[in-house]
Structure 1
Amino acid sequence: MDEVMQMPMDRSNPLRFFVLRVPFFLEPHYDRDASWHETNRERLERKWGGKASFVAQKQRHRLKERGQEVGIQHFNLDRLASNTLASHRVVQWMTKLYGCVASEALYNELNHNHFIEGMKLNDSSLLCQAATTAGADYIACDAFLASNEGIVEIEQTQVVLERLGISSIPTFLIGGKVIISGAVHSSELVRVFREIEKAGIGAPDTVFADTLKIPNHMRQSTLPPPEKDFSIRPASF
């Protein structure tokens, strides 16, 4: 997105991007109790069949290199893994109230807190502090998390994901039509965006905004053009 926004084909009609982070659960069976957690190392060793298999899979999936590609120089493998419903709720809440610029700032903050600092993603105080850093009100965020608001929408989103056959991340759904799965090179995304740019009519359709009840006026809020070189990317995935 940064490359396409920084170097538009037609400066009088540049592409603008609304980004919606769709809730996806790597471990949907995790207990929602905020006190429960395990380390990510424990999770992956169990998932991949022991320590030796974990090391082999880590190398095969190039976890270190993929992290460095998006700005994470060191993954905290002993970070606390927990149910992520609360973090998904806060991201959607930010999108509804403040738009995708604020929710992307929150998303990046949560990535840093979790992948690098090792914090778990169901700690309400840490979530509200991250939301405050991104421009939200702490007390309002805390009250939101204490309610059940947003849970039904996220549960309904899981049904849509299953219907579309989306069972892994990263997956990109562009303009409600193009699905790209896997950790593809950024050039593949640029290619799709350039095709949309050539058509000159944009790609405004969305699959999940209605389900997640994102207000129409917030769907019009788009990311600003990057201030830095597009080759320098924040930690976000």
Structure 2
Amino acid sequence: MKVEIYSDIACPWCYVGKTRFERALAAFPKGSSVEVVYRPFQLDPSAPHEARPHHEVLAAKFGARAAAMDRQIAALGAEEGIAFEFDTVLENNSLLAHRLLRFTLEEYGPEAQVRLKGRLMAGHFGEGMDIGDHEHLTDAAVAVGLDRDAVAAFLSGDELHDEVLDDIDEARRLGITAVPTFVFEGKWAVQGGQETSVFLQALEQVARDTAAEHAAEDAALATDDAGACADGVCEVPAADGGAAR
């Protein structure tokens, strides 16, 4: 099974969703066979490329409600084992970090990408990491097993810039307007940082539906084969374009 997760690094509900989904994956009997890939999404693509204190950014968007919003998500995070230290959070444009995640996927594989996603979220929300800073991003990548020189070289250029922007545009074309969104097998979607039980039910349901589809395909193939060999012989194309028996 493949699960594609559309999320932004600077999205607290994405962090909650990631934590709950991974807990469900650990409880899913076939969890080790599930491939998880993170896809980029930007809640604020117009955000400036400079670090700003979280409280200032949130207050500019939501006014007096900002502090209460932070308290609510911090309390929820504590229940999930997540440390939301909003006093130290720095907001920045997340495009560079998304490029690094795409680079990690292509060069190191999905498991390394998942590890880096977790490191970036933990750093951003709990350690004052600037997700637009080359040194901070490099340190995060090295912490999860990537090569420092390769990461530094990548971040110094513009590789995968257009590709990541295309991925973000594709997400919107698919109708994804809010994150996190979890897409199972390219067909079924679960939106939001749902409870662990909801993710577990989704994994189990998709596994059943996929197995049923495969069984139906196998049955149809068996029927087709039976028809082609109904006379005890099977027809194959002959070299001259005719049929050989």
TM-score (norm 1): 0.73
Match of 1:40 in 2: 54
User: What is the CA–CA distance in structure 2 between the aligned matches of 1:2 and 1:189, rounded to whole Å?
Assistant: 9
Residue in structure 1 matched with residue 33 of structure 2 by the alignment = 16
Residue 15 of structure 1 and its aligned partner are, at CA, apart by: 6.0
User: 177, 192, 196: which is aligned to 2:202?
Assistant: 192
Contact 2:24 2:197 in 1 (8 A): no
Instruction: Give, in angstroms, the shift of residue 202 of structure 1.
Output: 9.5
Q: Is residue 53 from structure 1 mapped to residue 60 from structure 2 by the alignment?
A: no
Higher relative contact order (CA 8 A, sep 6+): 1
Of Structure 1 and Structure 2, the greater helix share is in 2
Q: Which residue does the alignment assign to 2:12?
A: none
Distance of 1:77 and 1:168 partners within structure 2: 25
Deviation, structure 1 residue 17:
1.5
After TM superposition, give the deviation of residue 84 of structure 1 in Å: 1.0
Amino acid at match of 1:93: F
**Aligned with residue 165 of structure 1, among 175, 178, 186:** 175
The DSSP-based 3-state class of the residue aligned with 1:197 is helix
User: How many corresponding residue pairs?
Assistant: 192
Amino acid aligned to 1:158: I
**CA distance in 2: counterparts of 1:67 and 1:14, whole angstroms:** 24
Which stretches of structure 1, 4 residues or longer, exceed 2 Å deviation after superposition?
1-7, 55-59, 68-71, 73-78, 196-203
CA distance, structure 1, for counterparts of residue 61 and residue 37 of structure 2: 29
Distance 1:3 1:181, change over 3 A: closer
Q: Distance in 1 between matches of 2:82 and 2:36?
A: 21
> What are the Cα deviations for residues 88-140 of structure 1, in whole angstroms up to 9, with x where unaligned?
11111111111121111111111121100111101111111111111111111
Gaps of 5+ in 1: 204-237
**Aligned pair partner of 1:121 in 118, 131, 136:** 131
Question: Does structure 2 conserve the Cα–Cα contact (< 8 Å) formed by 1:23 and 1:88?
Answer: yes
Partner of 2:46: 29
Indicate if the aligned counterparts of 2:179 and 2:191 stay in contact, CA closer than 8 A: yes
Scaled by the length of structure 2, the TM-score of the pair is 0.71
> Which structure: larger Rg?
2
> How far apart, in 1, do the equivalents of 2:31 and 2:139 lie?
35
Paired AA for residue 73 in structure 1: A
- In structure 2, distance between residues paired with 1:100 and 1:201: 24
The answer as to whether partners of 1:4 and 1:194 remain within 8 angstroms in 2 is no
For 1:4 and 1:109, locate their aligned partners in 2 and report how far apart those are by CA, in whole Å.
Answer: 19
Q: Which amino acid aligns with 1:189?
A: F
SS in 1 for 2:48: coil
Among the aligned pairs, what percent are the same residue? 28
Unaligned runs of 5+ in 2: 1-21, 214-245
